A and B are shown apart, each in its own frame.
Chain A
Amino acid sequence: MSIEMLGITVLWSFLYGYLIVASIDFGAGFFAYYGRVIGMESIIGPVISRYLSPVWEVTNVFLVFFFVGIVGFFPETAHYYGTSLLIPGSIALVLLSIRGSFYAFANYGAGKSGFYLLAYGATGLLIPASLSTVFTISEGGFLDVRGSSVTLLMEELFFSSYSWAVVLLAMSSVLFISSTFLTYYASRAEDKRAFEQMRFFSLWGGIPTLISSLFVFVALRNHNLEHFDRALRVWWLFGLSLVAFALAVWLIWQKKSLGLAFVLVMLQFAFAFFGYGQSHLPYLLYPDLTIYGGVTNETMGRALVVAFLAGFALLVPSIVLLLRLFLFNAKYVKGELT
């Protein structure tokens, strides 16, 4: 595999990792707040906080990893995305900062406050919306590139149906992924009421996800026909995604094998995400930047790959340990360990 392909595959995999863990986190924040509003805080709150407390910090690292990695592997992206995304990027950063720190304030500080929870819940939907802007921009047509200056066309972005389709998909996916995971987690905790509530959310959450993904396809066809054609070439990936989705919903409906159901949801998004990524290539930013034009020199590319492998050898056992101690520890999940 060439350095370019290896680099983008590593980065894309990390972004996928972020998509899953961050969705669980963002959605959980939203559900925790929503649960409080409808007067059910005591039902789903404990399950959510038991899952989130040991892992909230890890979630953030996936994102940092991605944007540090992309500048390492593809330094040219700094010029295009860095220049144009100043304001949307800053807004996303402010939201992420409020979310991350207020989570700690609320959970490790003294006492639960409604204000912290509101900040935490609201950002759960706003962050995916603001981060998804990057995907929209990567399709081209939203940047004015003249010589060395790069400008983001805010108005184009705001009035584009494609950009709204992506935002809708991002928000509905977050809620869907999160609710299917929490359904599984609540069933492991043998918490019937939380389970019923989350199951209700995940069954209904599937519908907007499905509609908005179709909406994205239609909007992509109007916005970037070239990309749409490439996406059709890997239609089977999107087909598999749909199959995984159907199976997952069926399992949740039947209240059977909820762990498998969540794995299917992960596969659903994996197929769709890698299908989208595959069809996006070779462009990092249509039509200005390809992975071949933006890649770092070969020496650095090799060094990064070696660092990546070494780092991964260190991380995988650590993550397994984390999961075994918390996610897959029946006593902890049921709240019997403090």
Chain B
Amino acid sequence: MGTVDWSRYLTEMTLAFHILFATVGVGVPVFISLAEWIGIRKKDEHYSLMARRWARGFVITVAVGVVTGTCIGLQLSLLWPEFMRLAGNVVGLPLFLETFAFFFEAIFLGIYLYTWNRFSNPYMHWLLTLPIIIGSSGSALFITTVNSFMNTPQGFELENGQLARIDPIAAMFNPAVPSKVFHVLSSAYLTAAFLLAMIAAFAMLRGRKDEYYRKSIRLNMAAGLLLAVLTIVAGDISAQFLAKKQPEKLAAAEWHFETGKKAPLIVGGRLNPETQEVSGAFEIPWALSLLATHNPDGTVVGLNDFPKDEWPPLYVHYLFDAMVGIGFYLLAVPVIFLALPRLKRWQAYNRWILAAILAGGPLSLLAIELGWFYAEVGRQPWIMRGYMRVSDAATTNTHVNVAFWLFAALYVVLGVVCLYVLGRLFRNKPAELELEARRIIL
């Protein structure tokens, strides 16, 4: 394997690991804030305790998120120096702003964690969650603009291999930004809702009965319903964006080769790459046209319109299908959960629902991974679509394989220890005990 491949694998590994913690880092503060606010407003100690317990686990994930974020930040220059040398001229601004947002979050998280009992007015402490949310969602926004730039570069002109007439603002607010940021934020919040509900569902499945767990699930599922709808809407906007601006990515995801009207949507199946024939798939007529153009008669550009050396790998089809499938699962669970109590004979906290919520946690993280792999692999072979190929951007240093194994070992250690610590944190201190210790008996 060459240096370029090793560089790709190391970047993939770091990002795949980081994105789990980053997603938690963006989503969970919103729920901590929400729970603390409800707790103060309703004078309900259950919610206040929820905020504390979530915050405690959150710090552990933030720590891993921060260090892996530092890794990817520096790896951009270590592994892709030629890309940074060129693009640093155009995307320096959002990268810089991202660190500011991160700085802001870091400061207020430190303050938040150590001032639970400092203020006589509880809303003062709650207010500290706002800069944390602004910081974490802000850094997601800025870093997503950089990734969007790589997909739809603009804000410069290329003259003899040099960038000229640079417009940093245009580069930052490139066409891919709105749909990407929307999708990234809504899916991160949705994932957080399911991860937090997962913890409570797990406790209930183990026989815990306190009202605390029911309140947690109720809060997260109500938010989850709204967020799942938003995420699916964001996905729909993204698909239309791709159809217009990056048709080869959408076409690869849908194995759509010939440009044409009334294009069908292909779910699953197997592809014969020679004949471009799909077998065993579930085909929905007109649906791709509908998805891409909101018109069953709309024209969708096919892959054969592009030179073959600019095609993304065709396995992205499975990533796309799986992501979309999980997206609808995450919509179905809260819908069923919220609908059940209205059907009198059923109760909402039965074993099946709890198991479905439990599965929603890992599945939502999996969907995040699948979506990012689809988004990133789908723009191969470009690192800067239309301008720079991945193979021209990689380092010339031949020791990338050493670095790969070094980081692989690091992520294994971090992942295992982090899960162990998180598990211990909640196992040794179930909510009931803490409620008792804090003399909250409702």
A interface with B by C-beta (< 8 Å): 53-58, 60-61, 63-65, 67-69, 71-73, 75-79, 81-87, 89-91, 93-94, 96-98, 100-105, 108-110, 148-151, 296-297, 299-300, 303-304, 307-308, 311, 314-315, 318-319, 321-322, 325-326, 332, 337-338
Contact = CB atoms under 8 A, between A and B. Distances in A.
B110 interface: yes
A314 B134 CA distance: 12
Given A96-B70, A105-B418, A311-B97, A64 B89 contact: no
Contact of B99 (A65, A78, A83, A108): A65
Q: Is the interface of B mostly helix, strand, loop or mixed?
A: helix
Contacts of A83: 81, 395-397
10 contacts: A58-B107, A72-B88, A77-B77, A83-B396, A83-B397, A84-B397, A86-B78, A86-B395, A100-B67, A311-B96
Interface stretch (B41-49, B113-121, B244-252, B283-291): B113-121
In the complex, the 10 A-B pairs of residues with the closest C-beta atoms, listed nearest first: A72-B92, A75-B88, A104-B63, A82-B81, A78-B84, A109-B421, A311-B100, A97-B67, A82-B77, A54-B110
A204 B413 CA distance: 37
B436 to A, nearest CB: 19
A68 B78 contact: no
A93 B70 contact: yes
Given A61-B99, A75-B92, 14 more contacts: A57-B63, A57-B110, A60-B106, A78-B88, A82-B78, A82-B80, A86-B399, A104-B59, A104-B63, A105-B421, A109-B424, A315-B103, A318-B104, A326-B114
A286 to B, nearest CB: 19
Contacts of A78: 77, 81-82, 84-85, 88
Contacts of A319: 107
B96 A68 contact: yes
Contacts of B108: 318
Interface stretch (B160-168, B231-239, B314-322): B160-168
Given A78-B85, A110-B428, A315 B402 contact: no
A113 to B, nearest CB: 10
Contacts of A84: 397
B417 interface: yes
Interface stretch (B32-40, B264-272, B403-411): B403-411
Given A57-B109, A94-B410, A300 B168 contact: yes
B400 interface: yes
B336 interface: no
Nearest to A67: B74
Contacts of A89: 74, 78
Contacts of B103: 58, 61, 65, 311, 315
A73 B92 contact: yes
A64 to B, nearest CB: 5
A303 B170 CA distance: 12
Nearest to B110: A54
Interface of B: 56, 59-60, 62-64, 66-71, 73-82, 84-90, 92-93, 95-100, 102-104, 106-111, 113-115, 117-118, 131, 163, 166-169, 395-397, 399-400, 402-403, 406-407, 410, 413-414, 417-418, 421-422, 424-425, 428
B77 A67 contact: yes
A94 B406 contact: yes
Contacts of A297: 89, 163, 166
Given A78-B77, A97-B70, A109-B60, A321 B111 contact: yes
B437 to A, nearest CB: 14
A60 B403 contact: no
Given A57-B109, A83-B397, A97-B410, A75 B89 contact: yes
Nearest to A312: B100
A103 B66 CA distance: 12
Nearest to B128: A321
Contact of B106 (A58, A68, A77, A82): A58
A104 B406 CA distance: 22
Contacts of B77: 67, 71, 77-78, 81-82
B400 to A, nearest CB: 7
Contact of B421 (A67, A110, A325): A110
A64 B102 contact: yes
A322 B111 contact: yes
B102 A304 contact: no
A71 B88 contact: yes
A105 B63 contact: yes
B115 A325 contact: yes
Given A100-B66, A338-B117, A58 B110 contact: yes
Contacts of B70: 60, 63-64, 93, 96-97, 100
B106 A57 contact: yes
Given A69-B96, A100-B67, A54 B73 contact: no
A71 B74 CA distance: 10
Contacts of B76: 71
A79 B68 contact: no
Nearest to B108: A318
Contacts of A148: 396
A61 B110 contact: no
A209 to B, nearest CB: 28
